[in-house]
Amino acid sequence: MTPELETTQKSLYETDYVRWVEITAEQLRNQNYASVDWTNLIEEIEDMSRSGRKSLKNNLVVLLLHLLKWQYQPEYRSGSWRGSIREHRRRINDDLKDSPSLIPYLQEVFAECYANARLQAADETSLSLENFPLDCPYARELAIDPDFLPD
């Protein structure tokens, strides 16, 4: 790639991302590899992986948070909590179906996500942190099971 083309692509990447994506896709389709902005393309592909992992973690924290609230504040159970549990399970299960390579990652971050959900549950419920178990009371498979609700 010539320095002039590289400068033009970098500028386009920084000023009109959508157009940069369209041009990059066209260059790849036409096998015009010499003109591809490889540096930014590689960065974008790596960001896609990070984004998928971050989304999985965020959805898992919200799911575990609502499972805790459901279990430890039964008097406040609502359709909204049930809907949130269903929605975040759906998102997690869709992510795992689309990218099975995220399954080991889910196992890797499960305890961390539970720790975050536990802290947030204490904040949101005004219950003492000690009310919530130190270790997650839900097995991973059970937590993402569409039919499971703790008593």
Domain count, the chain: 2
Same domain membership, residue 77 and residue 7: no
Q: What is the pTM of this model?
A: 0.81
**57 and 114, same domain (yes or no):** yes
d(CA 148, CA 32): 51
Whether residue 127 is contained in a domain is answered as yes
Same domain, 128 and 73: yes
Domain boundaries, position 23:
1-36
DSSP code for 127: -
- Whether residue 27 is found in the same domain as residue 82: no
CA angle 75, 76, 79 (to 5 degrees): 125
Confidence of residue 16 (pLDDT cuts 50, 70, 90): very high
As a whole number, the mean pLDDT across the chain is 93
% helix, strand, coil for the chain, step of 5? 80, 0, 20
Tell me the chain's radius of gyration from C-alpha atoms.
Answer: 21
My answer on whether 32 and 65 are in the same domain is: no
pLDDT bin (cut points 50, 70, 90) of residue 151 is confident
Report whether 95 contacts 55 (CB < 8 A): yes
Q: Is 2 within the bounds of a domain?
A: yes
